[in-house]
């Protein structure tokens, strides 16, 4: 049976959610150009740390990441990747956070900051995985000569993993993990215990 506290918290959350979604969406549109720059530079740095020689190149062009290698000819293929598809999941995550009253106070604020850092890391890793998948599958005969079938299958699976499960599931997991007590109340999990059998 729903508790009065849960009904009150859920009502407040649902009333705040559309407004927080609009607010976060507006902020995201404003900061997206700067975030794209940071993401491309971070992705290129991490990609180069994971390879030898360090030749990964990620250029930013009108909201897209252009992924290539500096050791190939200038007319070699480049991957054009929409950065929006990499980091749009920050919008529902932050909207869910702001819809919870008092989410940024006390320990909740620190945990939300940690969750945001994890989400940023997932964006960088998603970009790096796209770099590796492009190397393995997008450069024609060069890819065939330098990557075996197992490597191509691995990088293809990793890209799928980041494109779908991570993109759509991670924001919910981070929200629930950072604000577990509040989310437990909203979902009715808080206060539910296992009934102990009575002694005869």
- Report how far residue 2's alpha carbon sits from residue 123's, in angstroms, rounded to the nearest whole number: 38
pLDDT in tens, 48-88: 999 999 999 999 999 999 999 999 887 789 999 999 999 99
Structural domain spans, the chain: 4-187
- Which pTM was predicted? 0.90
- Report how far residue 49's alpha carbon sits from residue 43's, in angstroms, rounded to the nearest whole number: 10
Peptide bond into 19 cis (omega under 30): no
Average pLDDT of the segment spanning 26-37 = 97
pLDDT in tens, 103-138: 998 888 999 999 999 999 999 999 999 999 999 999
């Amino acid at each position: 049976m729903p508790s009065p506290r849960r009904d009150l918290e859920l009502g407040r959350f649902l009333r705040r959610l559309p407004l927080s979604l609009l607010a976060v969406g507006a902020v995201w549109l404003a900061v997206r150009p700067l975030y794209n720059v940071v993401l491309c530079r971070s992705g290129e740095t991490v990609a180069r740390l994971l390879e030898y020689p360090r030749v990964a190149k990620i250029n930013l062009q009108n909201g897209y990441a252009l992924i290539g290698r500096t050791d190939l000819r200038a007319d070699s293929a480049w991957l054009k990747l929409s950065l929006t598809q990499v980091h749009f999941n920050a919008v529902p995550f932050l909207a869910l956070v702001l819809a919870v009253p008092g989410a940024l106070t006390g320990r909740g604020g620190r945990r939300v900051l940690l969750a945001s850092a994890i989400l940023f890391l997932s964006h960088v890793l998603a970009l790096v995985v796209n770099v590796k998948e492009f190397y393995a599958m997008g450069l024609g005969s060069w890819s065939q000569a330098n990557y075996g079938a197992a490597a191509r299958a691995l990088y293809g699976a990793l890209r799928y993993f980041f494109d779908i499960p991570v993109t759509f599931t991670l924001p919910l997991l981070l929200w629930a993990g950072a604000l577990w007590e509040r989310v437990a109340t909203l979902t009715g999990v808080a206060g539910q215990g296992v009934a102990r059998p009575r002694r005869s």
